[in-house]
């Protein structure tokens, strides 16, 4: 692929802006400054540098973000900053977006991609992709509440009962809840249905991905396409 097309596909601006980067000697690969916009490079395993920052070539962007509290999962946030503000400009430029949403006060694992079919596969109710939440509650959690969440509860204004795929107490006022569907404010509504209340909410896993202990709030990292859950 021509280097100018590589830069354009990876979010480094218009082709004119990418050409300007090359002309200014701000692009390199394998220790060599690249200036010829028409030069072809093999994209398999390609790593290149723009203004000294290292980038891997990714035909489709797929990454995880440790979402901190106080950010909205929206391109047009209403009350807080967007989670997209935590990403470098090239990723925003190429159009990555969150896979599903976390509330502004919810923290934890958020996947982002520019792959529309992948977003659909990971978000579709038919796929039953598991999401694991660490829940801090206002009141003590008892075994009756855990049993009710596993058996299924009826949410306010929703006649169809929903149940947790897994649920366990992790503390006096804490539990780990696994869901395979995604309804509006589902965790909070499920806890309300068993006469408790969510005080803190953190997503620790999404499908085959778990939030690494060394990924601090606000940080992100690439995910290999090969890690995508099987169809």
Let me know if 158 is a catalytic residue.
Answer: no
Catalytic residue among 5, 103, 114, 181: 103
The phi and psi torsions of 136 (rounded to 5 degrees) equal: -100, 130
Q: How many Å apart are CA 77 and CA 74, to the nearest integer?
A: 5
The phi and psi torsions of 89 (rounded to 5 degrees) equal: -55, -45
Determine contact, residues 10/50, Cβ cutoff 8 Å: no
* Tokens linked to 152: 């299924």
Catalytic sites, residue numbers: 103
């Amino acid at each position: 692929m021509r280097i100018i097309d590589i830069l354009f596909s990876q979010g480094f601006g218009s082709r004119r802006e990418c050409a300007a980067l090359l002309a200014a000697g701000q692009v390199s690969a394998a220790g060599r400054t690249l200036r010829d916009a028409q030069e072809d490079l093999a994209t398999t395993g390609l790593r290149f540098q723009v203004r000294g920052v290292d980038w891997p070539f990714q035909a489709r962007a797929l990454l995880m973000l440790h979402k901190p509290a106080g950010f909205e999962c929206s391109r047009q946030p209403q009350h807080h900053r967007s989670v997209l503000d935590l990403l470098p400009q090239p990723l925003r430029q190429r159009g990555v977006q969150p896979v599903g949403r976390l509330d502004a006060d919810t923290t934890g694992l958020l996947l982002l991609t520019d792959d529309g079919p992948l977003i659909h596969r990971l978000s579709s109710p038919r796929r039953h992709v598991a999401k694991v939440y660490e829940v801090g509650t206002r009141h003590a959690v008892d075994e009756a509440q855990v049993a009710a969440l596993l058996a299924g509860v009826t949410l306010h204004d929703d006649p169809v009962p929903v149940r947790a795929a897994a649920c366990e107490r992790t503390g006096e006022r804490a539990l780990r809840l696994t869901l395979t569907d995604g309804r509006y404010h589902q965790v909070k509504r499920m806890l309300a249905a068993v006469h408790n209340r969510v005080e803190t909410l953190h997503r620790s896993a999404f499908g085959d991905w778990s939030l690494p202990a060394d990924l601090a709030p606000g940080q992100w990292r690439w995910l290999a396409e090969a890690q995508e859950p099987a169809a």
